[in-house]
Amino acid sequence: MPKLSPAAAAAALALCAGVARAAEPAAAAAAAPPAVRLEVAADYYRLPNGLRVVLSRDASVPTVTVAVYYHIGFRIEPRNRTGFAHLFEHLMFQETTNLAKGEADRLVSGNGGIANGSTRFDYTNYFEVVPSHVLEPVLWVEAERMRGLALSATSLQNQKDVVKNEVRVNVLDRPYGGFPWLDLPQFANRNWYNAHNFYGDFADIDGATLEDVRAFYDTYYVPSNAVLVVAGDFDAGAARAAIERYFGPLPTRPAPAQADVSEPAQHAERRGQRVDPRAPRPAIAFGYHVPPRNTPEWYAFGLIDQILLQGEDSRLWARLVQQRGYADAVEGGINLVGNMFDYQGPMLWSAYLVHDAASSERAITRDFDAVVEGLRRRPVPPAELERALTKIRSALYDVAGSSDRFGLVDLLASFALFDDDPGRIDRIEAEFRKVTPALIQRTAREYLAPASRTRLVLLPGGKAPQAAP
Amino acid sequence: MSRRAMIAAALGALLAAGPAPGREAPPPVGQPHPFALPAKHEFTLPNGLAVTLVPFGTVPKTTILVALRTGNVADGDKSGLADLTASLMKEGAGARDAEGVARAAAEMGGALEVGAGPDQFSVSLDVLAERADDAIGLIADVLRRPRLPPAELPRLKADMTRQMAIARSQPQAIAGEALAHLIWGDSVYGRTLPTDAQIASIGIDDVRRFVATEFGAARTHVYVAGRFDPPAVERALRAAFGDWAAGPAPRQGAPEGARRRIVRLIDRPGATQSTILMGLPVPTPATPGFMRLSLANALLGGSLLSRLDQNLREDKGYTYGASSHITPHQGVAAWALATDVNAPQTAAALGEIFRELARLRSEPAPAAELQLIKNYRAGTFVLGASSRPGLLAQLAFLDQQGLDDDWLTHYVEHVNAVTPEELRAAAAEALDPAAMTIVVVGPLAQIKAGIEALEALHGAEFR
């Protein structure tokens, strides 16, 4: 749901992890590593047809969360079919061999659960949280979707209409719609996979055919390109048996070849500008390419994000909001439609704000640069680094302790899908703890250089609508 | 970019219908597992401050929510005063300046939130469990010893002016402001977006007066949920708030709302969609039989499976989503239906909405359909009560509405007791389209004639 929601952006560092075991909470000794450590129970195995399965049991609440993640996101779609990955997500809720339109929703929601799906850079997911006793029918539904999409022409047309209305309400008719999550990648990237309109041009959406749907489904929606996660209150033996029963018979199909999404190095600042006739105030966004996933520099960048941007204690907040008063908030993070873990490929770190016309782009950029330069010139004080680690740890607990477990399954699925290692979830915090002030400074020097930046400006234009009295 | 941006509520239907011949049926559901609400510990300090502690959850985090029975209801003619007060309270308290407050909260693993609503003012902080005592101290500083630096007020007023300009550029907020004003007039529930002049009129003395006269123990309730040591937290609360003056009694809301058929069309030239928002005052949750109305709303527009979404989205493709909600205030409540539809289909969409309202009020729902909604409500109730924020929201809602624990402990039974005829009768009484105010924000040159020609709006007053 990449609506431009401040909450989503602020939670950009949605780590996750499971149940905190741990002894007594440590009495907060300053700078000492916490005595509490997260440990997520996670069984990981593969069915013979290649489907990866993660089981994470925690019976503290009588609900269970099921998610299937397919390794196909909006980054990768046919060139004349922009928006197709997302349109396809909608189609997976229509007819299947054994379910008429709407029946899957009735099965899940009508038994007390919540269902949804989402399309992101490198995955499309389908997920449910249901009372524990509804697990088996939900597993059946997900297997049914994986083996038997049976879309009608009527439903295809209906969902094209729905998706176009989604784009209208979220982007076309919305002030600041798509700013900057949809706009910035189009200016900051050069590889088409990273730089096209992820929501899709209407001509491309209108042009989608049942043949396109079949080809996409046969290529990407195969067991070897997917991960199934079950997290929550379930009986491990019964769950394994049900998974074998429903997913086991699906035929083995080759995993799709992965497209080359690599982004060429950037050597000069890039500028973009967009006029938004519905926006009453200008806005500005800054974007930088983050280090490759899983490297020490990438963990350092996760801390840089905390130090510079996350929370009202961050440096950019202090300068741009508190001291200069350019805006009531500065927002952003790594991966504006997810978190720093749930993608695989090039990614931007972004920071953005809406300001008054009296504040010039130049003045804001000067202050922004001064803050960034501070991090490149001087090592981070230990207390500030410790505070960044504390924010990460606190976020981690919340993902683990959330009753819908969506954050938890997101991490488990991403680590299985992209790294073949869901157990990584238990090692995240330790990886962050290895980061030194020197590594942060080095990483900032390399990745936050002015030449690596993209600056996008949104200019207001046109007339505001007549408001009610 | 989800199938649906917001999961609001829901209903459904596979249980009743068997599979078509030759099709594979899904496996049956099992036996429900037991669920019990976590126990709470409640007490009141001698100065009247109410406390609810709920030890709960698996992770070492604690959420503290302080709810005060005041808000924009105390703005007077300076709309936005409560919100500006909330903002200025974060700009330093006790021994700390603004940056000190933000850092202290972050070091506890949290972020301080201070906010105002029409009839509630709140301060909250969600922290690592081992810092719960410190968090209570910080909250007490902010509530009782805010510095209220005058130098920061112009910046915060400029921020608020900008925020309101942005809100007024959004069709949903424009429609919301118009509907609220038509229903609630100049009372607190009718003034959703302060004007530039109102913001400009607010001075530091107004903020100081608000803090001096609106806060006190007698109108304050502290909720704590999570993993914490209850005796230690109780000690911390008594130390932080025990000597606070009782102050004024809780503010009461409850203005009269208008039930009248008015159609207000607001032009948004060039828009590709029309924002439809319609509503009216309805009985509050404390009214006997409220659950019947609540289920009627759920069936109509409370979820992906509701009739509005099935009709307007899944059948017609007019919209990305259509939903309806009941918003309880203090002593009053409002029902509203909201959707953004493709502009050329505005009149057709309104026609379908009126048809669905008529069906809801004239025909008892099929038992199978109703059962799916009941299941949905019961299941999502458990889900909501299983998180710290969800649990605190439920407890605060109970107190705001003056409901007793029975609302929560017997929620599922109350849901299951509603019959199709009771649901129909509740809708017939409360959701009369002839008493609804209707707002449409869209490209009027394209949509106005079609709306005026709607049979269901014959004789309506257009404004």
**Option in A101, A130, A394 nearest B61 (CB):** A394
Tens-place pLDDT, residues A44-98: 999 999 999 999 999 988 999 999 999 999 999 989 999 999 999 999 999 999 9
Nearest Cα of chain B lies from the Cα of A272 at a distance, in angstroms, of: 22
Q: Which residue has the higher pLDDT, B20 or A440?
A: A440
A contacts of B35 (beta carbons < 8 Å):
61-62
Tens-place pLDDT, residues A361-396: 999 999 999 999 999 999 999 999 999 999 999 999
Tens-place pLDDT, residues A290-338: 999 999 999 999 999 999 999 999 999 999 999 999 999 999 999 999 9
In terms of domains, do A319 and A378 share one? Answer: yes
Instruction: Give residues 167 to 196 of A whose Cβ lies within 8 Å of B.
Output: 168-170, 172-176
A contacts of B340 (beta carbons < 8 Å):
165, 168-169, 173
Q: Please give the C-alpha separations between residue A347 and each of A7, A419, A445, B395, in angstroms, as whole numbers.
A: 20, 17, 18, 41
ipTM of the complex: 0.93
Q: What is the pLDDT of residue A418?
A: 98
For residue B38, count other CB atoms closer than 10 A to its CB: 12
Task: Return the structure tokens found at A248.
Answer: 């086991």
Q: What is the pLDDT of residue A41?
A: 84
A162/B320 CB distance under 8 A: yes
A93: Cα separation from own chain's centroid: 21
Q: What is the pLDDT of residue B401?
A: 92
The answer to whether A86 faces chain B, any CB pair under 8 Å, is yes
Which residue, A189, A214, A247, sits at the end of a domain? A247
B contacts of A387 (beta carbons < 8 Å):
103, 106-107
In a domain? residue A34: no
A contacts of B131 (beta carbons < 8 Å):
28
* DSSP 3-state of A65: strand
Residue A337's H or E segment, with its range, is none
Q: What is the pLDDT of residue B258?
A: 79
Q: What is the pLDDT of residue B1?
A: 64
| pLDDT classification of B253: cutoffs 50, 70, 90 | low
In terms of domains, do A125 and A231 share one? Answer: yes
Q: What is the pLDDT of residue A282?
A: 98
In a domain? residue A171: yes
**Option in A157, A391, A404 nearest B106 (CB):** A391
| pLDDT classification of B21: cutoffs 50, 70, 90 | low
Cα distance between residue B87 and residue A337, in whole Å: 28
The answer to whether A202 faces chain B, any CB pair under 8 Å, is no
**Option in A100, A166, A173 nearest B171 (CB):** A173
B1/A391 CB distance under 8 A: no
CATH number at residue A275: 3.30.830.10
In terms of domains, do A243 and A280 share one? Answer: no
pTM: 0.93
What string of H, E and C letters represents the secondary structure of chain B?
A: CECCCCCCCCCCCCCCCCCCCCCCCCCCCCCCCCCCCCCCEEEECCCCCEEEEEECCCCCEEEEEEEECCCHHHCCCCCCHHHHHHHHHCCEECCEEHHHHHHHHHHCCCCCEEEECCCCEEEEEEEEHHHHHHHHHHHHHHHHCECCCHHHHHHHHHHHHHHHHHHCCCHHHHHHHHHHHHHHCCCHHHCCCCCHHHHHCCCHHHHHHHHHHHCCHHHEEEEEEECCCHHHHHHHHHHHHCCCCCCCCCCCCCCCCCCCCEEEEEECCCCCEEEEEEEEEECCCCCCCHHHHHHHHHHHHCCCCCHHHHHHHHHCCCEEEEEEEEEECCCCEEEEEEEEEEHHHHHHHHHHHHHHHHHHHHCCCCHHHHHHHHHHHHHHHHHHCCCHHHHHHHHHHHHHHCCCCHHHHCHHHHHHHCCHHHHHHHHHHHCCHHHCEEEEEECHHHHHHHHHCCHHHCCCEEC
Residue B335: phi, psi to the nearest 5? Answer: -105, 140
The answer to whether A410 faces chain B, any CB pair under 8 Å, is no
User: With contact defined as beta carbons under 8 Å apart, do B323 and B308 qualify?
Assistant: yes
In a domain? residue A62: yes
User: With contact defined as beta carbons under 8 Å apart, do B193 and B166 qualify?
Assistant: no
Cα distance between residue A101 and residue B392, in whole Å: 37
Q: List the single residue in B with minimal CA-CA distance to A465.
A: B268
The answer to whether A115 faces chain B, any CB pair under 8 Å, is yes
Q: What is the mean pLDDT of residues B326-345?
A: 96
B contacts of A199 (beta carbons < 8 Å):
1
Beta bridge partners of B446: none
In a domain? residue A255: no
B contacts of A323 (beta carbons < 8 Å):
none
Query: Which domain does A294 fall in, by range?
Result: 270-460
DSSP structure class, residue A151:
-
Instruction: Give residues 212 to 251 of A whose Cβ lies within 8 Å of B.
Output: 233, 242
In terms of domains, do A361 and A412 share one? Answer: yes
In a domain? residue A18: no
In a domain? residue A252: no
In terms of domains, do A308 and A439 share one? Answer: yes
Residue A285's H or E segment, with its range, is strand A283-289
Q: What is the mean pLDDT of residues B251-255?
A: 76
A contacts of B227 (beta carbons < 8 Å):
25
Q: What is the pLDDT of residue B2?
A: 65
In terms of domains, do A285 and A224 share one? Answer: no
Q: List the single residue in B with minimal CA-CA distance to A5.
A: B5
Q: What is the mean pLDDT of residues A101-111?
A: 95
Cα distance between residue A99 and residue B20, in whole Å: 9
B contacts of A163 (beta carbons < 8 Å):
320
In a domain? residue A469: no
In terms of domains, do A202 and A289 share one? Answer: no
Lowest mean pLDDT among A26-40, A346-360, A435-449, B245-259: A26-40
Q: What is the mean pLDDT of residues B211-240?
A: 97
Q: What is the mean pLDDT of residues B321-338?
A: 95
In terms of domains, do A99 and A177 share one? Answer: yes
Tens-place pLDDT, residues B444-459: 999 999 999 999 999 8
In terms of domains, do A209 and A353 share one? Answer: no
* DSSP 3-state of A77: coil
Q: How big is the A-B interface in CB pairs under 8 Å?
A: 319
**Option in A98, A109, A468 nearest B11 (CB):** A109
The answer to whether B340 faces chain A, any CB pair under 8 Å, is yes
Tens-place pLDDT, residues B388-404: 988 999 999 999 999 99
In a domain? residue A265: no
**Option in A98, A107, A313 nearest B106 (CB):** A313
The answer to whether B380 faces chain A, any CB pair under 8 Å, is yes
Task: Return the structure tokens found at A243.
Answer: 């998974």
Q: List the single residue in B with minimal CA-CA distance to A400.
A: B59
| pLDDT classification of A35: cutoffs 50, 70, 90 | low
Which residue, A212, A247, A282, sits at the end of a domain? A247
In terms of domains, do A235 and A290 share one? Answer: no
| pLDDT classification of B271: cutoffs 50, 70, 90 | very high
Q: What count of residues does chain A have?
A: 469
Domain annotation for chain B: domains and CATH numbers: 41-241 (3.30.830.10), 262-462 (3.30.830.10)
Domain count, chain A: 2
Nearest residue to B370 (alpha-carbon basis) of B317, B309, B445, B422? B422
User: With contact defined as beta carbons under 8 Å apart, do A123 and A69 qualify?
Assistant: yes
A contacts of B6 (beta carbons < 8 Å):
1
B372/A106 CB distance under 8 A: yes
A25/B128 CB distance under 8 A: yes
Nearest residue to B216 (alpha-carbon basis) of B91, B42, B48, B85? B48
Residue A380: phi, psi to the nearest 5? Answer: -70, 130
| pLDDT classification of B244: cutoffs 50, 70, 90 | very high
Beta bridge partners of B41: B53
Q: What is the pLDDT of residue B254?
A: 67
In terms of domains, do A330 and A386 share one? Answer: yes
Cα distance between residue A86 and residue B278, in whole Å: 31
Q: What is the pLDDT of residue B30?
A: 87
In terms of domains, do A215 and A92 share one? Answer: yes
Tens-place pLDDT, residues B113-159: 999 999 999 999 999 999 999 999 999 999 999 999 999 999 999 99
| pLDDT classification of A13: cutoffs 50, 70, 90 | very low
